[in-house]
Amino acid sequence: MANSLRLYLTCIRNTLEAALCLQNFPCQEVERHNKPEVELKTSPELLLNPVLICRNEAEKCLIETSINSLRISLKVKQADELENILTKKFLRFLSMRAEAFQVLRRKPVQGYDISFLITNYHCEDMQKQKLIEFIVQFMEDIDKEISELKLSVNTRGRLVATEFLKQFI
């Protein structure tokens, strides 16, 4: 199982290396403006083909590129209802603090759990390899975090239930 995770992450890493070739590009539609073309989508010639990498039915990653920006959307594995709620709450917590992350998008793209928006300005300020490393590390950590949260919820539930029902013995 860990093997398929390695393959999945390597595939995403290689795609990002090719896709993160961004450059400063002023808006063609509005004068004096500079917008991330992947969000705007008004000029189809400036967009590249989106790449969808699926690990299985539940986990996938969509990478959409344009001339000056890149959007990565992730769908995290959610096995049951509890994981569903935990993932939603945890990722919402992170998305609301998107300013601190700089490359995080405030709202995930429709159909996904979390999205990143990397622009040419991020590539100018930061190293490309480090950005890719960050994304991949993030994906590994998310899985760990959700499992830990689920474990602690279950443990706490068991403890609370035991304490509560003791009074009926």
Partner 1 sequence: MASVSVHQFAPCITCHAWSPDQSMIAFCPNNNEVHIYKMLEGKWEKIHVLHKHDQLVSGIDWSRRTDQIVTVSHDRNSYVWSLEASEWVPTLVILRLNRAALCVQWSPKENKFAVGSGAKTVCICYYEQENNWWVSKIIRKRHDSSVTSIAWHPNNILLATTSTDGKCRVFSTFIKGVDTKHSSSGSDSKFGEQIMQLDLSHSWTFGIRWSPSGNTLSYAGHDSMIYFVDDIGPSPSAQSLAFRDLPLRDVLFLSERMVIGVGYDCNPMVFAADERGLWSFLRFLDERKQTSNAKYGSQLSGTFGKLYGQSKSGSNEANESSRIRAHDNCITSVVPLKKTRDATVTTFTTAGLDGKVVTWDLQKQQDLMAYLQG
Binding site for partner 1 (CB under 8 A): 17-18, 21, 23-28, 31-32, 34, 43, 45-46, 48, 67, 97, 99-104, 123-130, 133-134, 137-138
Question: Rounded to an integer, what distance in angstroms lies between the CA atom of residue 109 and that of residue 157?
Answer: 33
112 touches 74 (CB < 8 A): yes
Least distance to partner 1 from the beta carbon of 53, Å? Answer: 19
Least distance to partner 1 from the beta carbon of 147, Å? Answer: 19
Q: Which is nearer to partner 1, 92 or 156 (CB)?
A: 92
Consecutive H or E run containing 119: strand 114-119
118 touches 69 (CB < 8 A): yes
Tokens of 3: 């093997």
Q: Which is nearer to partner 1, 30 or 159 (CB)?
A: 30
Q: Which is nearer to partner 1, 79 or 141 (CB)?
A: 141
Least distance to partner 1 from the beta carbon of 76, Å? Answer: 17
Question: Rounded to an integer, what distance in angstroms lies between the CA atom of residue 33 and that of residue 50?
Answer: 25
